[in-house]
Amino acid sequence: MTLNDLSTAVLAATLSLGASFAQAQADPLPSWNEGATKKSITDFVARVTTEGTPDFVPPSERIATFDNDGTLWCEHPIYFQAAFAIDRAKQMAPQHPEWKTTQPFQSLLDGDMKTFFAGGVKGLLAVVAASHTGMTTEEFSRSVNDWLPAARHPRFDRPYTELVYQPMLELLAYLRSNGFKTYIVSAGGIEFMRPWVEKVYGIPPEQIVGSSGVVEFQLGADGKPVLMKMPKIEFVDEGPGKPVAINHFIGRRPIFAFGNSDGDLQMLQWTMAETGARFAGIVHHTDAEREYAYDRESHIGKLDKALDEGKAKAWTIVDMKVDWKTVFP
Amino acid sequence: MTLNDLSTAVLAATLSLGASFAQAQADPLPSWNEGATKKSITDFVARVTTEGTPDFVPPSERIATFDNDGTLWCEHPIYFQAAFAIDRAKQMAPQHPEWKTTQPFQSLLDGDMKTFFAGGVKGLLAVVAASHTGMTTEEFSRSVNDWLPAARHPRFDRPYTELVYQPMLELLAYLRSNGFKTYIVSAGGIEFMRPWVEKVYGIPPEQIVGSSGVVEFQLGADGKPVLMKMPKIEFVDEGPGKPVAINHFIGRRPIFAFGNSDGDLQMLQWTMAETGARFAGIVHHTDAEREYAYDRESHIGKLDKALDEGKAKAWTIVDMKVDWKTVFP
């Protein structure tokens, strides 16, 4: 290589750097309409990433936690994990002839969802136990991966993993490009999320915090160890459980947290209860046309106390209808 | 900047690259003596990091898990966390006048360690409960940080954090420079380790897996939320608990694991029970002169079944006396 070749290479590299710079200057949140909500996010990120200012936070402490159901993807008409449990139980029915005459399975198999849901959460828990336990962690993971591409949302007729919120995908990527480590902290099952979240959200399995069942180490007949999913709840990552789980898994307090329901209130309180720049955000579902509109009276994703506290404390409250240009990708 | 300046800059950059290359070629494990043990490590790393070969593992799946006590730092004459608990209980005694006449505290305060240890693990657990619970997670973390710089190991008269194994520090750094994510998976308390492991091992708090007590979210009198450490054991990360905790926290199976006792056996089994290139290592304490010599009969860090299985399955067994040029930094 001559010096001239080198110069050409440097020029090319410089031009390419210039292009990257222009790209970085482009709007990182194109699906967010301009306004106070969007500005509260970009202002916060600018504050904590500007070195030499009092609000600067070193990258290792830029922890951002997100609820999943209703915050990163849709949660109506029922939690998608409940849809999975119901579909799986139906698939498993041939191996369980006794279900034909045992509730809640009988009503489920008869398609009598009114009776099924009349049993309240108990019926659903029985179906969750049947579909989520008595198998190895790897068998369960496969069952999630088998279900996802085939299942369709009843209203939107799209795979569930396409019903993620485009503005939140952009927010996750924007935070990561600013040195944040993004986590999910969900009441959903940790093992239900791990098979697909990396592909869908760009969040690796080790950054997923969620509810869990007891798992047991067992040596199989062939001497090969397996982890068996037992029919016993271990931890419910909801409400006051969220800061506890954040402490348990991450061991650092987030500086940025996003939720959408009262089940996220304590995570938001915990995030804000420290000095320095901090951010709490709430997705308020106000868009019945493009998605759903619900808050204080909803049976799923009830947003009542957290809405009041968020307003009182001037947290960022996303008005889905107003703040989001696009909802789904 | 002229084209000539640019050429000079490129030359400088090229020279600097050359220097980095030379550095990378230098021995990354200088405290390991040449031999089969060291070669088994470097061969494994070469295999899984060479693209285009069947054994190549993408960086996201290069998970390495290490036991702590006896694997990364010394564990004799008693676990360092037990030394912490005992020292803390002594410090707390003035606030607990009843301890003067209550066992196991009485013998501890009288310096009658024979009676104290005669009570077996029960006495120690009482002292652990007193020193580890009934305070917030942040208060506990401060108590660990206060203790560490002042405490000294009875034999080596050095701070405990200096009694880490230099060859293992090099191994951690070597793996990370090859794209591995390094985790601690210890029977020690997760909250006891988190305050200091990042500085000492370069492992961040979110990559520490350990035993835990129940933690409760509480709103203080001032309305400020705190996490209280309750006097109840939540999970013991030992033996079959280790693969369970790895699955819980990381959600991926390690391809590389290192332990030193029977409490690590299931972690090693779980790591090896999958196809593809995998590595299991055991630190065998054979050096009474520079550290300690113990295995099958030891009351701490007993290595018996894992030694047999490791030999039978040709895992890497470190003979401390032979394989390590230096023990402590």
The structure tokens listed for A232 are: 């016993």
Express each pLDDT in A272-312 by its tens digit.
999 999 999 999 999 999 999 999 999 999 999 999 999 99
- Asked if B191 and B85 touch (Cβ cutoff 8 Å), the reply is no
3-state DSSP percent of chain B in helix, strand and coil, to 5: 50, 20, 35
Task: Tell me which chain B residues have a C-beta less than 8 angstroms from the C-beta of A241.
Answer: 217
What's B60's DSSP letter? G
For residue B202, the chain A residue with the least C-alpha distance is A60
**What is the DSSP code string of A137-206?**
HHHHHHHHHHHHHH---TTT-S-GGG-B-HHHHHHHHHHHHTTPEEEEEEEEEHHHHHHHHHHHHS--GG
CB contacts under 8 A, B 162-201 vs A, are 181, 190-191, 194
Cβ atoms < 10 Å from Cβ of A221: 5
Q: Which residues of A touch B252 (CB under 8 A)?
A: 205-206
Residue A5 forms contact with B (CB below 8 Å) = no
Contact in structure between B236 and A208 (CB atoms under 8 Å): no
Q: Number of A:B CB contacts under 8 A?
A: 91
Query: Which of B7, B208, B270 is opposite residue A3, by nearest beta carbon?
Result: B7
By CB neighbour count within 10 A (0-12 exposed, 13-18 middle, 19+ buried), where does A291 fall?
A: buried
On chain B, the residues whose CB falls within 8 A of the CB of A205 are 250-252
Out of B6, B217, B251, name the one closest to residue A244 (CB).
B217
Describe the crossing of helices A80-92 and A121-132 by its angle, rounded to 10 degrees.
60
At A222, is the pLDDT very low, low, confident or very high (cuts 50, 70, 90)? confident
* Residue B202, Ramachandran bin (φ over 0: left; ψ between -120 and 50: alpha; else beta): left
From chain B, pick out residues whose CB is under 8 angstroms from the CB of A216: 240, 244
Pairing relationship of beta strands A208-219 and A225-235 according to DSSP bridges: antiparallel
Residue A151, chain B, CB below 8 Å: the answer is no
Average pLDDT rounded to a whole number, residues A258-270: 98
pLDDT value of position B220:
83
Per CB-CB distance under 8 Å, the chain A contacts of B181 are 206
Residue A15 pLDDT > 90, yes or no?
A: no
DSSP strands (E only) in chain B: 63-66, 135-136, 181-189, 208-219, 225-235, 256-259, 279-286, 293-294, 316-319
Partner-chain contact A9 B10, CB within 8 Å: yes
CB contact at 8 A, A57 and A50 = no
d(CA A11, CA A5): 10
Positions in chain B short of pLDDT 50: 1-3, 6, 11, 14-15, 18-19
Asked whether the beta carbons of B197 and B209 are under 8 A apart, the reply is no
pLDDT at B1: 43
What pLDDT is stored for residue B18 in this prediction? 47
Sign of the alpha-carbon torsion through A82, A84, A87, A93: negative
Nearest residue of A to residue B226 by CA position?
Answer: A270
Task: Give CA–CA dist B137/B133, Å, rounded.
Answer: 9
Contact, A292 vs A92, CB < 8 A? no
pLDDT > 70: percent of chain A: 92
Nearest-Cα distance to chain B for A109, in Å, is 33
Put simply, the answer to whether A269 touches B10 (Cβ < 8 Å) is no
Contact A320, A292 (CB under 8 A): no
Mean pLDDT of A172-190: 98
Q: Which residues in chain A touch residue B271, judged by CB atoms under 8 angstroms apart?
A: none
Query: What CATH number should be reported for the domain whose range is A29-75+162-323?
Result: 3.40.50.1000
Q: Do A251 and B60 touch (CB under 8 A)?
A: no
Which residues of chain B are within 8 Å of residue A273 when distances are taken between CB atoms? 224-225
Residues of A in contact with B240 (CB under 8 A): 216-217
pLDDT of residue A317: 98
Model pLDDT, residue A160: 97
Structure tokens that stand for A265 in this block: 């209130």
* Contacts of residue A141, Cβ cutoff 8 Å, sequence gap at least 6: A191, A194, A195
Residues B203-215 pLDDT 10s: 999 999 999 999 9
Whether the CB of B29 is below 8 Å from some CB of chain A: the reply is: no
CB contact under 8 A, B190 and A251: yes
pLDDT tens-digit readout, A103-162: 999 998 998 988 888 877 788 888 988 999 999 999 999 999 999 999 999 999 999 999
Closest chain B residue to the Cα of A141, Cα to Cα = B251
Rounded mean pLDDT of A258-281?
Answer: 97
**By the 8 A CB rule, do B283 and B91 touch?**
no
In this complex, do B247 and A273 lie within 8 Å of one another by their Cβ atoms? no
Interchain contact, A266 vs B10, CB within 8 Å: no
Contact (CB<8Å) B217/A243: yes
**CATH superfamily, with its number, for domain B29-75+163-323:** HAD superfamily/HAD-like (3.40.50.1000)
pLDDT at B117: 85
Test the B interface: residue of A4, A5, A7 with most B CBs within 10 Å: A7
Q: How far is residue A280 from each of residues A241, A287, A289, measured CA to CA in Å? A: 17, 21, 26
Q: Cβ(B22)–Cβ(B155) under 8 Å?
A: no
Cis peptide, bond prior to residue B240, ω within 30 of zero: no
CB contact under 8 A, B249 and A250: no
| pLDDT tens digits along A81-112 | 999 999 999 999 999 999 999 999 999 899 89
The pLDDT assigned to B3 comes to 47
* Count of residues in chain A: 329
Interface touch A3/B6, C-beta < 8 Å: no
| Residues A237-258, mean pLDDT to the nearest whole number | 97
Say whether residue B271 is in contact with chain A using an 8 A CB cutoff.
no
Say what the pLDDT of residue B124 is.
Answer: 84
Q: Could you say which of A191, A215, A217 has the minimum Cβ distance to residue B266?
A: A217
The answer to whether the Cβ–Cβ distance between B6 and A7 falls below 8 Å is: yes
Facing residue for A244 by CB, picked from B9, B215, B266: B215
Closest Cα in chain A to B13? A10
Question: From A269, which residue of chain B is nearest by alpha-carbon distance?
Answer: B225
Asked if A224 reaches chain B (Cβ–Cβ under 8 Å), the answer is yes
Query: Cβ separation of A224 and B273 shorter than 8 Å?
Result: yes
How is chain B split into domains, by residue range?
A: 29-75+163-323, 80-150
